[in-house]
């Protein structure tokens, strides 16, 4: 991992060049904060001759569909800092050899010298392809990626902007849904909560961050890092139900069985441009299994897109860091860096703090960082204190502690 230059230095070129910025992949609650950080830094630099936003990610470059961000009223950026989703629009579009050259032609025609792309694993692939093609064409184009994904699965960075807010949302949603189940445990004693996370269990693990007591839900967590076994799952649910009278289960949508088959593939709706399966159905499958095999009534909650970009549970830490990585990306490009992604580097110590770094896109594109074994219990169905120490600083303000009535029953 490389260190980000401490200050901006002038690249070896005589005239300022345009900067193009795009957003890609699933939107988050704080992706616009990265946009704001990048745009404000670019507008303040005399090395940048114009700042343009590509609408719908790289498709905006291909279609020459750009916004002149210099023309936006200054007050827009203050409001956008706290606006969820992707203001420029996003995409899931994979470049091939022809479209890569087409994109370079469009950027060259604009006089672009800097390209900033905000996204995750697939966006890193797009940016890396462009950087390689620009280098081969001897085109002086500085390309920097800004990390963004609720999946938190990008290599080389401590965590990813977007994850802290999504983790906070899932922790709160699990706490609230569990209380609803506890209210009438004889009505629907088993609750299955399905969360996103692609091929890593970071978001599912975050469901445990609101636990205040060992008996607090979620009682069982299933992540893609451990093979799912039907017999073990049913035994786990039965045991928890016998002990507490109700069960709250959190399952990642990409949990797979021992054969590698994703439970959510039951209702798969195809694949996206990068070949990732569009899954649906893990929770439905588990509910059916519980009903049929255990004879217990069960239902599921599936937050869907809300967990990705809801403004209801934004982490102040997440928003602040999202803005910082946007700034750092432009600073790195202006300093002459290219084919890199900004990273967050956690500083050891009692107080949580991160510094900015840089990593090679070649090490990030299409790669996945799973949940480390040390963050999961021996059974794989709960998290460890090491995970809590890692994740709690990222969700911002302390999570609420709900009260329970503890008085002894009154005999009458």
Active site residue ranges: 151
Task: Give the residue among 366, 364, 363, 344 at the shortest CA–CA distance from 355.
Answer: 344
Q: Cα dihedral angle (330, 334, 339, 345), rounded to 10 degrees?
A: -50
Q: How far is the C-alpha of 89 from the C-alpha of 131, rounded, in Å?
A: 22
- In contact, 161 and 318? CB cutoff 8 Å: yes
Q: Give DSSP secondary structure letters for 9-59.
A: ---S-SS-EEEEEEE-SS--SSHHHHHHHHHHHHHT-TTEEEEEEETTTHH
- Classify residue 238 as exposed, middle or buried by CB count within 10 Å of its CB (0-12, 13-18, 19+): middle
Before 365, cis peptide (omega within 30)? no
For residue 154, give the 3-state DSSP assignment: coil
Q: Give DSSP secondary structure letters for 67-95.
A: EEGGGS-THHHHHHTT--S-TT-------
Q: How far is the C-alpha of 156 from the C-alpha of 223, rounded, in Å?
A: 21
Q: How far is the C-alpha of 115 from the C-alpha of 103, rounded, in Å?
A: 11
């Amino acid at each position: 991992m490389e260190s980000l230059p401490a200050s901006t230095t002038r690249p070896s070129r005589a005239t300022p060049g345009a900067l193009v910025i795009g957003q890609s992949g699933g939107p988050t609650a704080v992706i616009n904060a990265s946009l704001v950080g990048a745009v404000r830094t670019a507008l303040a630099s005399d090395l940048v001759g114009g700042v343009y936003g590509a609408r719908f990610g790289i498709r905006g470059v291909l279609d020459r569909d750009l916004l002149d961000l210099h023309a936006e009223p200054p007050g827009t950026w203050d409001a956008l800092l706290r606006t969820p989703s992707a203001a420029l629009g996003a995409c899931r579009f994979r470049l091939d050899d022809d479209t890569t050259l087409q994109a370079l032609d469009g950027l060259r025609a604009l006089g672009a010298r800097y390209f900033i792309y905000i996204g995750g694993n697939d966006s890193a692939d797009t940016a890396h392809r462009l950087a390689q093609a620009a280098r081969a064409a001897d085109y002086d184009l500085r390309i920097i990626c800004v990390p963004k994904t609720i999946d938190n699965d990008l290599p080389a960075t401590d965590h990813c902007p977007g994850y802290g807010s999504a983790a906070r949302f899932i922790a709160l949603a699990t706490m609230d849904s569990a209380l609803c189940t506890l209210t009438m445990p004889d009505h629907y004693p088993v609750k299955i909560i399905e969360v996103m996370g692609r091929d890593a269990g970071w978001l599912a693990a975050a469901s445990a961050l609101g636990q205040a007591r060992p008996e607090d839900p979620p009682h069982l967590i299933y992540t893609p890092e451990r093979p799912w076994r039907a017999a073990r799952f049913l035994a786990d649910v039965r045991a928890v139900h016998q002990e507490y009278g109700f069960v709250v289960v959190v399952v990642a949508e990409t949990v797979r069985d021992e054969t590698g088959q994703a439970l959510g593939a039951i209702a798969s709706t195809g694949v996206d441009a990068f070949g990732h399966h569009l899954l649906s159905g893990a929770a439905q499958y588990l509910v059916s299994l519980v009903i049929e095999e255990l004879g217990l009534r069960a239902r599921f909650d599936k937050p869907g897109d809300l967990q990705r970009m809801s403004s209801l549970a934004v982490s102040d830490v997440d928003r602040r860091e999202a803005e910082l990585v946007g700034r750092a990306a432009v600073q790195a490009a202006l300093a002459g860096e290219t084919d890199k992604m900004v990273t967050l580097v956690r500083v050891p110590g009692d107080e949580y703090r991160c510094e900015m770094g840089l990593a090679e896109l070649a090490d990030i594109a299409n790669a996945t960082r799973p949940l480390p074994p040390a963050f999961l219990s021996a059974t794989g169905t709960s998290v460890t204190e090491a995970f809590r120490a890692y994740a709690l600083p990222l969700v911002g303000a302390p999570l609420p502690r709900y009260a329970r009535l503890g008085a002894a029953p009154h005999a009458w």
